[in-house]
Structure 1
Amino acid sequence: MLRSQVLPARCALHQRRQFAVQVAASKGFGTKPKVAPKPKKDQPAPEPCPCDSGKAYKNCCGVVHRGESVAATPEATLRARFSAYVKGEPEYIISTTHPDYHVNHYQVPIPGGAEERLREDVAAACNKFAFTGLKIVGSEPGVNEHEGYVSFEYLSRKRSAPGAPVTEEEVKDTTAWSRTAERCRFLRTSSDVWQFVDYQTATFDSSMLGGLQQQQPEPVAA
């Protein structure tokens, strides 16, 4: 192609580009109309924490279960352990069980010497039973800053099948729910983790329960 033919072609191309810019600037043909943003769909209500703190699970015991935070007190540890039974988080329960519990509960000579039995028991409890209605009655200090006690009550019932969710009908069947009252002892390890050591069954009067006797169980997720 000769030079005299190239120059007119380049001028024509330049003119077309300028015209396209002018059209876009004046919002003429060829521009895409603005699309109104779609309204956000209704967000589902956050799942409440099983420990009955009034907070969402993901911001309460869920943070502890995910390892993003450590329960700072015996009561917080008990709440997280209870939620772990409800949510099926056996590893957290095992990790917050003191080695001396093995000696006290399984009558083994070595602390922590019954790990497999503990693991089987925890898995069975998570799968076979549903838990709800946790109420903290009180927390007490121990003989030093590394010991603490928590008194509480909760409701439990056997699931219709391992891991099966509790239905509305089963929730209303209050005769199937059992009430358990305990006073648990916790010890803090050198790494600042509170661990459950042992417990005693307990009885609390109505003034301590704050209306727990009238509470109805709520549906419990698997």
Structure 2
Amino acid sequence: MSRRTTRPAKKPAATRTSDCPCGLPASYDDCCGRLHRGLAQASTAEQLMRSRYSAFVVQDVGYLLSSWHPDTRPSALDLAPELRWERLEILGGTDGGPFHTSGTVEFRAYYREGRSSGTMRENSRFVRHEGAWVYLDGEVEAD
């Protein structure tokens, strides 16, 4: 009997000149890539939400964990390599500005998994922790 091995799925590429996965009109390098590399911090809850979505797209587990509040952060995060995030739509939010200490962002994210596609809708809560915006938790709704 032969043993078959499967190769891990390739990480989706976001290059310096490619459009940022978050949907803003900028390159990945100039937008969420700066946050992922630690060159900048999110100034609003929405900016952090967009950068976390982009981190899911490029499978940057380190950024996802570091931008998660320590009280609710999991010890590890396994991303499904077959899941491809395709588009982000911001639906609304409350507070979360440069002078706030908490805020929410409601969004819909479109994905593809194999031949199936779907959406995920979440109302995420963000707070400032040690001066930086972090993801606290969220309510996922069936979409």
TM-score normalised according to structure 1 size: 0.52
| SS of structure 2 residue aligned to 1:201 | strand
Equivalent in the alignment of 1:85: 56
Task: Give, in whole Å, the separation in 2 of the partners of 1:131 and 1:100.
Answer: 27
5 Å-filtered alignment, 1:71-220, equals 71-102=42-73, 114-115=74-75, 119=76, 121=77, 123-125=78-80, 127-141=81-95, 145-159=100-114, 176-190=116-130, 192-202=131-141
Residues 37-82 of structure 1, C-alpha deviations (whole Å, 9 max, x = no match): xxxxxxxx92000000011111000111111111111100010001
Task: Give the residue type in structure 2 aligned to 1:183.
Answer: N
More strand by share: 2
CA contact (8 A) 2:59 2:79 kept: no
Q: CA deviation at 1:128?
A: 3.3
Rg larger for: 1
TM-score normalised according to structure 2 size: 0.79
Residues 10-48 of structure 1, C-alpha deviations (whole Å, 9 max, x = no match): xxxxxxxxxxxxxxxxxxxxxxxxxxxxxxxxxxx9200
Unaligned runs of 5+ in 2: 1-15
Equivalent in the alignment of 1:215: none
Considering only aligned residues, what root-mean-square deviation do their CA atoms show, in Å? 2.2
Which fold has the larger relative contact order, with Cα–Cα distance below 8 Å and residues 6 or more apart in sequence? 2
| SS of structure 1 residue aligned to 2:90 | strand
Equivalenced residue count is: 126
Task: Give, in whole Å, the separation in 2 of the partners of 1:128 and 1:187.
Answer: 31
Equivalent in the alignment of 1:166: none
Task: Give, in whole Å, the separation in 2 of the partners of 1:69 and 1:145.
Answer: 18
